[in-house]
Copies of this chain bind each other. A is one copy, B any other.
Amino acid sequence: MTNNNTAPAPCVILVEPQLCENVGMAARAMKNCALKELRLVNPREDYLSAKARAASSNSEEILEQAKVYSSTSEAIGDLQYVLASTARHRDQTKLVFDASAGACEICKHINRGARCGIMFGPERTGLRNEDICLADGIINVPLNPEHCSLNLSQAVLLIGYEYYKQTIELRPGELVTNHSQIAPKEKVLLFCKHLEGKLSQFANYSDEQKREKLVINLRNIFTRSELTEQELNTLYGIVNYLGEKRD
């Protein structure tokens, strides 16, 4: 789903982050994912310190524009849709989304014009129940259950990444060429015939059945590679060179 309107990206709310480096690295992860607005609830350390700035790695403007709040409810007061990032459900009756579905849900709300946010808890303990119950739902990064501990900035990165993917056209798989076109079939076949013509003395080439099989194999090899025109020219050069050597 691409983002159709000009409503801003979701803001990231860090509730009581402990280490300023983590705030800096979270800012860096936000920038990786085109997220801009950072809100901090009672950060323990100075999020504008040299340490935090260094950790943000060229994302200082996110730190400089961050807003500080004294409670979670205040930090999300103007938002209309908020998801809480947490691995545990803690006995609450709550909508739970995996990271991809949660990002999709946020984009749906953004497209309807809602201001959205994603909140993350303190490094050691994660979000408290009293914070989680303020959110519309829980967003959960699916990871190896035997080792799912993520640091704060990695959680921001993975959820931010899922958000970012929702806003762009993905490229599921394409052949990128070096400015040269993929050769049309007739040129590939001409090359194969050229090569075959050089093989008159090749082992077993006089045996019609074996020759036919070889031809099929060669054509399969060169068809499978989706050769470009430039690559075909390279192969012509090589075949001719080897052919001369042989003659």
Q: Which residues of A contact B (CB under 8 A)?
A: 28-29, 31-34, 57-59, 89, 91-98, 100-102, 105, 137-138, 140-144, 146-150, 154, 157-158, 161, 164-165, 168, 170-180, 228, 230-231
A88 to B239, CA, bound (A): 31
Residues of B within 8 A of A137 (CB): 173
Q: Tell me if B91 and A178 are in contact (CB < 8 A).
A: yes
Tell me which of B91, B144, B149, B157 contacts A154 (CB under 8 A).
B157
Residues in B neighbouring A34, C-beta threshold 8 A: 144, 146
Contacts known (A34-B144, A173-B97); A57 close to B149, Cβ less than 8 A: yes
Q: Which of B59, B89, B105, B174 contacts A173 (CB 8 A)?
A: B105
Q: How many monomers of this protein are in the complex?
A: 2
Are B170 and A142 within 8 A (Cβ)?
A: yes
Q: Are B32 and A150 neighbours in the complex by a CB distance under 8 Å? A: yes
Identify which of B32, B157, B161, B180 contacts A147 (C-beta below 8 A). Answer: B32
Distance A245 CA – B158 CA, assembled complex (angstroms): 50
Known A-B contacts A95-B174, A170-B101, A172-B97; A142 and B158 likewise in contact (beta carbons under 8 Å): no
Contacts of A178 in B (CB 8 A): 91-93
- Report the separation of the CA atoms of residues A98 and B57 in the bound assembly, to the nearest whole angstrom: 24
Chain B residue numbers with a CB within 8 Å of A168 are: 142
Q: Contacts A57-B149, A154-B157, A157-B158: A174 and B143 contacting too (C-beta < 8 A)?
A: no
B32 and A173 within 8 A (CB): no
Q: Which residue of chain B has the shortest Cβ distance to A90 in the bound complex? A: B178
Find out whether the CB atom of B101 lies under 8 angstroms from the CB atom of A172.
Answer: yes
CA distance A100 to B172 in the complex (A): 8
Cβ contact of A33, chosen from B94, B143, B175, cutoff 8 A: B143
Q: Give A127 to B171 CA distance when docked, in angstroms.
A: 21
Partner of A170, one of B29, B98, B105, B149: B98
Chain B nearest Cβ from A232, distance in angstroms: 11
CA distance A143 to B165 in the complex (A): 8
Q: Which of B31, B93, B161 contacts A180 (CB 8 A)?
A: B93
Contacting pair A173 B95 (CB below 8 A)? yes
The residue of chain B having its C-beta at the shortest distance from the C-beta of A177 within the complex is B93
Does the CB pair A164–B147 fall under 8 Å? no
Q: What are 26 A-B interface contacts by the 8 Å CB criterion?
A: A28-B147, A32-B148, A32-B149, A32-B150, A34-B146, A57-B149, A58-B147, A91-B178, A91-B179, A93-B176, A93-B177, A93-B180, A93-B228, A93-B230, A95-B173, A96-B171, A97-B171, A98-B173, A100-B172, A101-B172, A138-B176, A142-B165, A143-B161, A143-B164, A154-B157, A158-B158
